[in-house]
Structure formats: structure tokens, C-alpha cells
Structure 1
Amino acid sequence: MTAEQFRMGIVSMVVKNGIAFKFFESDGFKIINGEMATKLKVSLDKQHIRNYVLNAGNEMKEKIKKELKNRFLYLKFDCATRLRVNYLGLNVRFVDDQGLGVTRTLALVDNEGRHTSGELKKIVNGVLQDYDIPLANIICCVTANATNMVSMMKEDLQHAEEGKSENDEKDDNETMAGTLDLESSVPINCEHMRCAVHILQLAIHDGLKKTASGVIAKLRHVAKEALSPKINQQLRRRRAKKVDLLNQETRWGSTYAMIDRLIELRSFIEEMADMGNENLNLSSFEWEHAISLRDLLMKAHLITKSLQFENLTPGYFYRKWSGLKLFYQDHGSSLADDFLHSMQKREEELLGNGLLLAAVLSDVTNMDLLPPDHEIKGKETLINLVLRIKGLEDEKKEATVPDLEVSDSDSDEEFRAVRKKLKLNKGTEGLSVFDLTGKEDNINLTPPPTVTRSSSSSNSHITAENQPSQMQFIRTSVLKGLETLKESREELKKLSDPISQYPDVLKDAARLLCTMPSTQVSVERLFSGLKIFKSGLRSCLKADILNALLLLKANMK
């Protein structure tokens, strides 16, 4: 074992197991590993342990900076409070060299109790500058539905170079790393995505307020009484292995959990109500109402849980959201109608995001779910994203479907050949059914491309004269590619990686869109890790070491 391996072992114990720095100074640890530490000349002093963690954090930060260079990114952030200290956590998501979606934690910053949109913007811009991330590389920000974050995203994110001295020796025409070159031909076009799970919970909450607030208040009163020490003790004596729960509006699905636990403990509650405790008394009608309410909330609760995994795709979310709407529509009860109307009202906040619609449109499993108006907007956004990836943004106007009618051209024959080849290769998963070599037995298999920003050097052949024709060709190709996907989606659904078989003009954009985060749940997990390190016994951890610990915990394999 080398000294570096020994130090990294210590760092791993601190990061993954939450071991305190002073543990390594204990007599027990020194008995086991003290002799080896002495031979390797590795200090076990807590200050040196702290430095090991900080150095590992800095190395991880530099590694992430290299990973993120010249890539399009999704930025996710949210706020939380731990032991009376307010924090802002930031994640990014991107497509790696293997075409897979990757999430990286950037920072956890103490916002010092300042929650205004302006203060949050300063913190976000500071972190982006720290990682040398230009704003032009961010295509979407995913946040919670807090008013300050919504207000922040209504304004254009911009870098305020505060504190820049007048005698700065840097040339005014040179752009600093991590800041936006305002004279660049690439405009800032950052979409705002509100957390889909949070939107769903708000819709359910709105529906409950309309007709079920009275019965929920009654059930909460019973649950609160069942949690009293006297009743709780009687529950334990009757060997009820579970205690009652109270709903909390800040916790997802807590109303469902409270009602479900009450129904589970119904026999005990009714027995104690018969013994004279009127606070636990519920009529048969109220119990039946509670059961029907539980059954309605169960569907939303299960969908909420299914939307919290890391690799959630926008198409999967859209299918679940649409399925829940159909469930409430078919149910027919007044409460289900309230849920349905609340979801329809709240979805305006979701489906106003063109990237989400474009992501669903480019997902062969779910593209048929979009209604015509959403499909049009999705096409517009998809075309603009393809142009942006290729460095061909139209600064004068965004692409619109009326401008992009597919006209007959020399490429028509090419697309007919694509469809013919698809039929010839039907059922062959490993073959590239969209390869246009013209040779059925010579199909190229290439790894997925890395979705990065197209630099000016890579597009040096594009001049002011031929740029409009290039843009028009790409627009036409995107629309034809979508038509090809629709025709072949049944065959593509059978493939483990259908995007690898997409037309070349759609591949990069489709991979980028399928990794689009519909929620900011990964930031919530960052806050869960905060509980491990910042406990009541370690409440005075300084910001630098806390940030290093969380950065390593979130990003270490």
C-alpha cells in the first residue's frame, strides 16, 4: 500500500461513513493502523485529515471542470435549511462520451439567510464562474416552485462582474473563462423547468382543498389524538407494531400516508373510541370516505415515487402524468374531477417548456401522446436545439412550423431509401437502420456522439452567404426525420438503444433531450447527505470542508 492509497482510504471513511476527523487520533485506530501510518509517513492528526479531504475535494472539482468543458448542461438547484443555516445546492446533468446521462454535484453554498431572487442569482453565477461554465452552455434550469426561484428565472441569467477594478490589466476584448462573451454570436436561451413532482403535489393539494378539506381536518384530528402518549401506550399494549402519522404539507404524499395508516389502525381506533374517547370517534360514512380518498391518493402517491429515480426521462414523466389524468377522468367522482381540473391548471406551468415537449416528441415510446398544438411547439423547439448544437442559431427569429414546410428536394429519395432499408432490417436490433450508405450489407456501427457545443472553428466552412441555406436544410431534415421516426417507431421500440438508430440530424439532440431532468430530486438527495455530516454534534463544520465532503460523497464512485 502506498501513502496516497492510505490517505484516500481515510478520505473514503470520512466521506462514505461519516467518520469524524478525531476518530483517527483515537487509541483504538492507532493500535490497528498506527504502525502502518508511521511507516508510510501519513499523519493521523485531525488537521491533516481535514487537509486530505480538502485536497480530494479540489481534485474532484478539477475533474468535474474537465468533464463539463464545452458541453451543454442542465442546471438544477434548490434551497434547504439545516440546523438554522440556509443552503443552496446545485447539480448539473449532461451527456457523457458514451451517450449516457450523468449528474454531478457542483456546490452547497451557505446563502447566509438571503433568499431574494437577486441574491440567489449571484450565488448561481458565482458557482458557474468557479467551474468555468459559460451561460450559453446551459439550456435549461430546473428548480422548485418557490416564488424567489420562479422570479429569478423570469429574468435572464447574467454574469455581473462585480468588483472589477478600473486598472484591470486584462484586454477588454478578451473574455474571461466562465463568463459570457456578450458579443458572441450565440444568444443566451435558457429554458425554465419547474420540478414535475412538485407540480404534481401542488395539483393534488389544490384538489384536496376544494371538497376534501373538511374530512382531512377530521382525520388529522383523530391522527393527532392517536399520537398522544396515553393512546400511543395503549396501542403498544395491543401489540400494534405501527403508530399513527400526521400529514405535513412540506412532505410529498404525507396526506396519503396519514390516511393509509389510520385505516390500517382502524380496529384499534374504533376499540378505543368505544371505550369512551370521543376524539377518536369516526362514523362508518367517514371511514368509507377516508377509504375512497385513500384509493384516489394512492395512484398519485405511487406515481410520485416512480418519478424520483435519477434517470427519469421526460417521456416517462409525460406518460405517467397523462395516465393519472385519464385515471381521474374515468373515475367520475367529484373529488377525482377536482384533481383532474387542478392538474389541467397546473400543467400550464409544465407544458410551457418547449424542451419538455421536444423531449417527448423525440422519444419513440411516447411521441404519440402529444396533442397537435404541443407537437407543433415541440417541433419548433427541437429544430432550434439542433441548430444550436450545430452553432447555427437564427438570431432574427425562432423556427416556426409554418416556416418549415417540407418541400420536395433531392433528399426525398434519400428518405425513401431510409424507409426501405428499415423494412429490410426489421427486427435486427444491432444494425443501424438509418445508415444511408446504400449498401444493405455494409452498415456502420459507431458509438453515440458526445453532445458538446459546436465551436467556431468546427463550423469554419459556414459563411454568412451559405448559413441560411444550411439552416433551411437542417430544418427540413429534422421534420423529415421526425416523420421517419413516426413510421418506424414500432420497430425502434424493440431496441435497447433506439436513439443510436435515429437519423444523424436528430441523434445529438435526442440524446441531450432524453437526459433532461424533469425534477430536481438529485438536489434533495444532496440535502439528505447534509444530515450525515452536519449533525447536532458537528454543527460547527466550516463551509469549505462541508462543501468538500458533499462534493465527494455525491461524485465519488
Structure 2
Amino acid sequence: MGRKRKNPIYSYYIYNNETNKSKCQMEGCQKAIRGHHAGNLVRHFFTQHRAEYNKMQERTLSDKDVNSLTEYNKVLECCINLVAIHGRPLSLLEDEAFQSLISMIPNPGLTPNIRNIRTCIENKAYDVRKKIYEELKNKLVCLKIDVASVKSRRFLGINLQFILDKKLQLRNLCVVELHERNTAAFLKDTVLMVLSRYGIEPRQLYSITSDNGANMLAMSRQIEEEIQDCLEDFSNTEEQVEESDIIFSPADSQEMLDLVESLEFERENIAQPIVTAVRCAAHTLQLAVRDACKELEPVFELCRRAVRTLRTPNVALELKRNQLLQAILDCPTRWDSTADMLDRLVNLKDFCKEHYSDLIGDETWSKIEESLQALKPCRVLSKRLQEEQLTFGDFYIYWIKCITELEQMNTPIAIYLVICMKAREGNLLTNDTFLSAVYMDPRVNSILSEEQNERARIHLMHTHQRYINLQLQTQDRPTNENDLNQDNVPHTSRSNIDSFFERRYRERQRERPTEACNQLKHSLIDFLNSPLLPTHENILKYWYEKRFTDPQLYSLSTIALATPPTQVSVERLFSSLKFILNNLRMSLKDSIIDDILLVRNNSIYEKSD
């Protein structure tokens, strides 16, 4: 007879002598583990049933052991941050020096290693997704999407933006690896798959900000078509339901009729585009400057030849002896790097004239200085567009300021830049989402024409109706099993009275949409008569202070002003990807990359909040 087993872990398993396997008894888990060794059982319990494992430890450990467990959990948290936040490879956890360091810490459980730290990262990523799911429930959301290649692997990055209180909140949804061509259909399926992981339905999408790529714009259109098909399928399914298939009491018939009519009202009011594709403002600026710089390409090419000469080993050494900075060679597709190249050349002008006067002539130097002066406001604008708390109103203020400064220069290059920027601005002014965001910003809404104001009002009214329908459908949906089994409740006189008032309430709610729609229209028209705000005012704070006095417009502003003008945060996301996916971590699978970046980026966003 063996010794008595005292470890509480055995109570969670059933051991089969014939098969020599221990079967886990946790609900939903039928894992069979070979043998009956406590260490293997604890390892499975720790990695797969963490919450129950912690409860078991709290019940069985002494106060001293509980403190040791708390310290151990802190060690695990530090190991997670080491890998996910600070970009260290998982192989570090197996290094002898690291294991020796860990052995000095009281350890009542498992020793950190690659397998359990990877599991901890997966669990933490799950917690992050669950938190995002709770934040976005019943909300219209705005997406930022971009695709990039890193180490010959292509990734799709998706960020989400919304307003909470008086600040723009940013959340990273995924960095998923793409294994097919970047067609619009494939990108659409991938985006919808990612959204489904967070419980976000397609009808909750308000806008998608991306670059001006044809596949990205086509993807947004296909997502809208997908939503329309879902609504049509719902309508067809509803028509196929026969009256004989539905059993309800006479008291419930009026409620059912009210529900059907409310759904009919919803379908009739979906006339405008559901999802609006928004062109990235930073990319729009990039294209405008590139258009203007085409005339200067001969000058830039001459500068590149001069820079290549200045970057040769002998000349670079001579620059270092003279305590001068090295020349910069630009990336031709990035105008800001071209501006950096010109700026550095101007700083080296005296050195070039003294030692290499044949590289650049005096006339070319004048064009370089003139070009650099004209590009200066655009460089300032480019930096401004990287702000996190950036609304479309802020963007337009910075945009107009840049154009004004260029017009004051009155040089040929500056004037051509203004022409190109105004041409690109036309694409923005035809976007209903942009017009709606500007309409809701009393700092800049005076620039809209009457036709643009009308388009913005119609779009805002449809957006508000979508928001209301989203809330009503959520209220009509059963929340628990008790709601589904109301037949078990005896019908008393009190319940009949409640049903009467319930029906009257639904009738009033059904009559309110038209009344509310007219009221909203008048509120939007009256809003244009509000005094203009100074451009330095915080528009999010302005609306936050109106959340009680004007709740209808406030709820509308939290949707319209949340539209991201740029996708800059997604490009920063790819910078994080380069940091994580370095030469020492090339074998990382796409799933663990997604989890690591989800933990890393959302922790950064929360700190910035």
C-alpha cells in the first residue's frame, strides 16, 4: 500500500489504472494525461485552468506560501514584459544565466520557461481582447488599416479608434500575417474575421481609414456590400416565417407587431453608404508634395550625385576631421527624406564650395534653398499629422495654416505646392465622413458650402439612426435564460398591468423615431448658428462639457469626431513589428507575433491615456 496522496490537485482528475491516464474533470476539458504524477497534473492545470489553479493555491497555501506565490506571479509578469514589451527573444528564458537568476527567487510553482511564458502571453492577449470586446459593445467604430512587408513576410495591421470622455482612445486589434495576394476580397475576408474575434458585427463599422490604394478602397466597398447582403438575408428569413410557426399569447401579439414594424423602419432608413472609406490625410499630403516636386526632379538628382560623392570613405573622413555632419542620401519615394537631404547639403554648402565646387553650381544652390524653404511648412504639417489626439478639424486647421504660409512666400515652387494641395483637398471635401466631422467642429465648419452642409446633415442623421437602432436591437435581445422562459411565470393581474404599460411604452418608442429625426435635424441646423470657437480650443473637451445640456448632439459628435484622419498609428505598429521580428526571432509563428504585439501596443496605448 502506497503512501496517502495529500496534494489537492488529485481531486480534479480521475485516474484509470488500465490506461494509466488521468482525465481532467474541469468543465469543457477532457484532457487525458499519461500517468498520475502530481507535477504533470499541476502543469496542465496551471497552463489551461489558471483561474481555478489560483483558487486552489489560495485554499491550500499558508500565508507565507501565498506571499511567495505573489512574488512568483510578479516574476512571471516581468518575464512576459521582457518578451512582449522589451522585445527579448523567448530563447533568453532557457539561458543558463537567466535560469540561475530565477532560481534565487522563492518558487512554489513552475520555473519560467519558453512553454509556460508563451502560454502566459497567450492568456494575457486573451484578456486584452476580452477587455476590448467589453469597451466596444454596442458602439459604432472606426478602423485604421494598412499592409506592410517585414523580413519578406506580409502583415495586415488593424487599429481601432473611439472617443471615451474627452479623449481619443486607440486600440490595436491585430497584426495578422497574410499568406495570399492583397486582393480586395481577401483583405475583406481577413478584416471581417478579425472583427468577429472581438464580437464586432459589420454593421458596427462607421469608417475605414487607409491609404489611397485601389485594393483598400475596393475592400471598403466590398465590406459595405457584405453588410447589405446580411440585411437582405435577414429580411428574406423574416418573410419565410409563417404565422402558424409562432405561438404567443394575445397579450404578446401587439409586442411582436411593434418589433416587426421597428425592424421595417430600420431597413427603410438605411439608404446612405454604411461604411465610408477615408483617405489617409498624411498620404494625401505625401501625394500633393510629390506632384509638386516632379518639376524639381533634375535638381534632386543632381543633389543625389553630390551626396554620393560626399559619402565616399575619403570624403566622409574629411568631413569628420572638420567636425561636420555626414551627408544624407534620400529615399526617392519619401519627400521628407529628400527635404532632410537638402537641409544637410545646405549645412555643408561652405565645405562643398571650398573643396568640391564643381559638384553644385550657384544657380542650383539657389534652387535648393528655395525648395527647402517651400518644403518647410509641409514638414511642419507632416509632424502635426502624427499627433495621437488628432481630429479632422485639427487636421484642416493645420492644412489651411500650411497653405497660408506657402501663399505668403509667393515663390514659383510655393505657388505650385499650393495648387497641388488644393487639388488633393478636393478629394477630401467630397467625403461625407469628412464633411460630417467638420460640421460638428465649430472651429472650422464655416468653410462648408450650403450643399456640403446639407450632405453632412443627411449623413449625420443616418448615422444617428444607425446608432439608435444598434441600441434598440441590443435591448430587444434576451440577456439570460430567464428572459427566454417567461411562460413559466404565472400571469397575475399585476403582470397584465405591466404588459399593458409595456405595450404603451413600445408604441411611444415606435412613434419617436420620426419625431426624434425632426428634432435632430432642427438641432443640427441651429448648431450652425453657434459662435465660432478659437482654433486653439480643444473640440473634444468642448463636446464633453455639453454631454448633459445637449446629449443627442454629444453622442453624435463622439462618432463623427472619432474618425481617424490618418493611419499613422498603424505605421508605428509596423515599427513595433520590426522591433519584435528581428534576426534573432525570425522563427516566430504568426499567432505568437499577433499576441506579443497585441500585448505590447495596447499596453503602450493605455499608458499614453
Matched, 1:235 2:319: yes
Matched, 1:476 2:522: yes
1:464 positional shift: 5.5
Given the superposition, is the C-alpha separation of residues 478 and 47 from structure 1 closer, same or farther in structure 2, using an over 3 Å criterion? same
Question: Which of 125, 131, 144 in structure 2 is aligned with 1:76?
Answer: 144
Question: Which of 155, 159, 169 in structure 2 is aligned with 1:91?
Answer: 159
1: CA distance, partners of 2:155 / 2:410: 44
Given the superposition, is the C-alpha separation of residues 198 and 555 from structure 1 closer, same or farther in structure 2, using an over 3 Å criterion? same
Aligned residues: 471
1:159 positional shift: 4.8
1:273 positional shift: 0.8
2: CA distance, partners of 1:268 / 1:317: 40
Q: How does 1:51-450 map to 2 (within 5 A)?
A: 51-96=119-164, 98-159=165-226, 185=267, 187=270, 189-209=274-294, 211-240=295-324, 242-251=325-334, 253-274=336-357, 278=358, 281-391=359-469
1: CA distance, partners of 2:539 / 2:389: 18
1:13 positional shift: 1.7
* 1:178 match: none
Instruction: Tell me the percent identity.
Output: 25
* 2:543 match: 499
Letter in 1 for 2:337: S
TM-score (norm 1): 0.78
* 1:23 match: 92
Worse overlay, 122-131 or 3-12? 3-12
1:99 positional shift: 4.5
Letter in 2 for 1:48: N
- Deviations along 1:13-66, one digit per CA (max 9) or x if unpaired, are 2112112222223232233332326x2313222122211111211221122112
Structure 2 residue matching 1:386: 3-state secondary structure: helix
Structure 1 residue matching 2:159: 3-state secondary structure: strand
Letter in 2 for 1:9: C
2: CA distance, partners of 1:494 / 1:147: 35
Given the superposition, is the C-alpha separation of residues 182 and 100 from structure 1 closer, same or farther in structure 2, using an over 3 Å criterion? farther
1:376 positional shift: 3.7
1:156 positional shift: 4.1
* 1:405 match: none
Tell me if structure 1 keeps the 8 A contact 2:166–2:544.
no
Structure 1 residue matching 2:563: 3-state secondary structure: coil
2: CA distance, partners of 1:494 / 1:339: 29
- Deviations along 1:97-155, one digit per CA (max 9) or x if unpaired, are x3532111011111125111111111111111222111111110000122221232244
- Deviations along 1:259-311, one digit per CA (max 9) or x if unpaired, are 1111111122222214xxx4xx2111211111110010011011101110111
Tell me if structure 2 keeps the 8 A contact 1:125–1:159.
no
Letter in 2 for 1:58: Y
Given the superposition, is the C-alpha separation of residues 17 and 84 from structure 1 closer, same or farther in structure 2, using an over 3 Å criterion? same
Structure 1 residue matching 2:169: 3-state secondary structure: strand
Worse overlay, 114-123 or 217-226? 217-226
2: CA distance, partners of 1:378 / 1:465: 25
TM-score (norm 2): 0.72
Given the superposition, is the C-alpha separation of residues 461 and 204 from structure 1 closer, same or farther in structure 2, using an over 3 Å criterion? farther
| Larger Rg belongs to | 2
Tell me if structure 1 keeps the 8 A contact 2:76–2:112.
no
1: CA distance, partners of 2:344 / 2:322: 16
Worse overlay, 300-309 or 1-10? 1-10
Tell me if structure 1 keeps the 8 A contact 2:140–2:206.
yes
1: CA distance, partners of 2:178 / 2:537: 46
* 2:591 match: 544
1:183 positional shift: 11
1:454 positional shift: 4.9
1:200 positional shift: 0.4
Given the superposition, is the C-alpha separation of residues 372 and 322 from structure 1 closer, same or farther in structure 2, using an over 3 Å criterion? farther
Unaligned runs of 5+ in 1: 161-169, 174-180, 392-451
Matched, 1:508 2:586: no
1:206 positional shift: 0.2
1:252 positional shift: 5.4
Higher helix share: 2
Structure 1 residue matching 2:160: 3-state secondary structure: strand
Letter in 2 for 1:110: E
1: CA distance, partners of 2:79 / 2:289: 46
* 1:421 match: none
1: CA distance, partners of 2:540 / 2:516: 33
1: CA distance, partners of 2:336 / 2:104: 53
Given the superposition, is the C-alpha separation of residues 90 and 494 from structure 1 closer, same or farther in structure 2, using an over 3 Å criterion? closer
Tell me if structure 2 keeps the 8 A contact 1:125–1:158.
no
Given the superposition, is the C-alpha separation of residues 19 and 156 from structure 1 closer, same or farther in structure 2, using an over 3 Å criterion? closer
2: CA distance, partners of 1:157 / 1:465: 29
